[in-house]
Amino acid sequence: MAKRDRLSGNEAVAIALKQINPDVFPAFPITPSTEIPQYFASFVADGQVDTEFIPVESEHSSMSAAIGAEAAGARSLTATSSCGLAYMWEELYIAASNRLPLALALVNRALSGPININCDHSDSMGARDAGWIQIYAENNQEAYDNMVQAYRISEHKDVRLPIMICQDGFITSHAVENMELLEDEEVKEFVGEYRPENYLLNPDCPMAVGPYSITDYYMEAKRNQAEGMKHVEKVVLDVAKEFKGISGREYGLFEAYCMEDAEYAVVMIGSAAGTTKDAIDRLREQGEKAGLLKIRLYRPFPAEAIAQALKNVKAVAIMDRAEGYTNHGGPLGADVMSALYRAGARALAVNYVYGLGGRDVRVEDMEGVYKTLKQIAAEGSAGETYRYLGIRE
């Protein structure tokens, strides 16, 4: 039976982890993710979990310790934000290349400089090609639900890759929302026990983790990683279907909001999707056919499914909460435009960079985006495809 509560996103993720009861949690604090290990440390102190909680001296060390524990056969995770993720850079690739299904609770925050502690997606977007699964949340409920599903996805025998569960710093991590929690026993049964096939402490199967690879083997190892990624979409959908059975909440690779007859669509990730839904509701009352595609699974990128969902729109705006410094827009824009091109889609597409460093995104701002899309469709030309939203030029 669901339990109603009012929680911040950080507390919700910490409670999900308490219900999962992982084996090892090394951590080093950094704003705005600090509360996750802080809440969890209180669960450890109160004897509510069996987890080995390890305070370490840096974010690099926290990921290193999680990798060592996971390689030894323990279900492991850590949490971080922004420069903490950047400090883990070397270890992110090691975790993925060794096919270790550990989890990372990432609270998205802008990367310096200038120094900024608020939300954008520059940290996780910088790590998008490190070989990790990336799943994003719009709100606190989704952050909790995604964490409950995380290990079922990453530990699947056809996947065995690390997973990043992302939520927007302060906007969801510290804001308090009404939400529903599953019972502890429901989560325990859903996630199940971790039974790795191969691990360092298995005396019956001696193995090495992270060995030196000469030219004759390195490329095959990378191809092996890519093979694991090929199975992620199906596993995400299968796990989501089972999760709906215990929660009543439905998840997919993305959420399509008012897309059935949409002529103008926005594609985006994270909390600003809620603001965009409010804009859509206003516009629908005025007879405008506006829609939203909110990306949940970003890595691997579900290109074919996204192109299919956008096949009937006249114009689309792809919203990036990170700058790509390509002179052509952001990373989500590049991925979506590539998907549209490969599918032979006719939609006119523009890419907006928005919300950097936590800059507010208002309902009126998103209404303006849809107004621009309507004008683009009428003129038959996208014009400048690389734009900024809400900036002082």
- Residue 181 parent element (H or E): strand 176-181
Across residues 193-220, what is the average pLDDT? 90
Amino acid at site 378: A
pLDDT at 195 over 70: yes
Residue 293's nearest CA partner among 234, 321, 253, 322 is: 253
Owner of token pair 């523009």: 350
**Does the N-terminal peptide bond of residue 32 adopt cis geometry, omega within 30 degrees of 0?**
yes
Supply the pLDDT for residue 1.
62
Report the C-alpha dihedral over residues 279, 284, 286, 289, rounded to 10 degrees.
110
Nearest to residue 101, comparing CAs of 147, 128, 67, 134? Answer: 67
First to last CA, the chain: 52
Beta bridge partners of 178: 6
Q: What is the mean pLDDT of residues 220-241?
A: 97
Q: For 150-174, what is the mean pLDDT?
A: 98
pLDDT digits (tens, 9 = 90+) for 298-311: 999 999 999 999 99
- Rounded Cα distance, 129 and 164, in Å: 12
At residue 231 the predicted structure's pLDDT band, cuts being 50, 70 and 90, is very high
pLDDT in the model for residue 179 = 97
Mean pLDDT of 193-197: 93
Please name which of 278, 272, 241 lies closest in space to residue 258, comparing C-alpha atoms: 278
Mean pLDDT on 158-177:
98
DSSP 58: S
**Does residue 274 register a pLDDT over 70?**
yes
DSSP state of 180: E
**Residues 39-71 pLDDT 10s:** 999 999 999 999 999 999 999 999 999 999 999
Task: Give the model confidence (pLDDT) of 2-43 as tens digits.
Answer: 789 999 999 999 999 999 999 999 999 999 999 999 999 999
Q: Give yes or no for a contact between 224 and 99, defined as CB atoms under 8 angstroms apart.
A: yes
- What is the chain's mean pLDDT, rounded? 97
